[in-house]
Structure 1
């Protein structure tokens, strides 16, 4: 019989936290693929600054190329796919090594760390920096995903910190 210790609880919580990030990615990707047109138009409106107000001095930043809109959106989808797969593989590796030595469990964190780091990159670089800061997404009354991106970051970043803590031996 395995003794249930604090380290066991911490390891299991880390598996669950990475799994939840992977599940979020799955549902995000399902939305992106099954309703591609709506999300593509959303991204296109932000990139072309079509729905932003009060930013006439920054309109030179607008990109109206439909090809660029598709490529930008596919970059987001590609990065979300990679982060989702890494988190799911990371969940499996962590679960497989849940009763392993400290070194074995720590080594199993690699894919999960990569997945969470890519998720942070997507939501911080693509949404906060590029879409919000450069293309003024925050000035759009009906196309503002800043709070959504921030809520994703508020999960992914602490999850990455918690996962990498050496408190599971």
Structure 2
């Protein structure tokens, strides 16, 4: 098989984008279910009783909707970057190193945005700032950690280069 690493890079990027597409579509098709998650996290209404961090709570429904729509837009952009980038990498799998490297920007953008959504958004902001970890119902920290770890690993995979071919006389 010619360029197996490039095929793997294209596939993982495309599948990451497909995941993002399913998340994006799910948030649009079942807006209220996932909106409730955002609403409860931001309002901190299911955190520990007597929580000294309640001053951080945001109870405005308008802000809840703005935050959720922002998440949906970011997930849609992540999906587009991943799917388009995966297709571009696949099409360039036999291209020069320079041409292939130029197309990797789609993957770096996708994984960077994915890391911002799931690590910064859900783990740092949601879990730590809004104490989402205290909720037995509305706690997505573990899921977000797994997704963040995956995007970081995929970004490392994307940065890898195939080894130079060994000359016939060296074998």
Contact 2:118/2:144 (8 A) holds in 1: yes
Q: 1:125 aligns with which of 111, 114, 120?
A: 120
Q: Is 1:15–2:10 an aligned residue pair? A: yes
Q: Distance in 2 between matches of 1:79 and 1:129?
A: 17
Q: Is 1:60–2:45 an aligned residue pair? A: no
Residue segments in structure 1 that go unaligned for 5+ positions in a row? none
1:103 aligns with: 98
Contact 2:17/2:82 (8 A) holds in 1: yes
Bigger Cα Rg: 2
Shift of 1:168: 6.2
Deviations 1:41-95 (A, max 9, x none): 1110010001111452111111000000011111111111111101111011101
Q: How many residues align?
A: 164
Q: Distance in 2 between matches of 1:41 and 1:166?
A: 43
Tell me which stretches of 4 or more aligned residues in structure 1 moved more than 6 Å. none
- SS of the aligned residue for 1:69 comes to helix
Contact 1:102/1:168 (8 A) holds in 2: no
2:156 aligns with: 161
Q: Distance in 2 between matches of 1:28 and 1:79?
A: 11
1:32 aligns with: 27
Structure-2 change in CA distance of 1:132 and 1:37 (3 Å): same
Residue segments in structure 2 that go unaligned for 5+ positions in a row? 165-171
Contact 1:18/1:91 (8 A) holds in 2: yes
Structure-2 change in CA distance of 1:63 and 1:97 (3 Å): same
Contact 1:11/1:168 (8 A) holds in 2: no
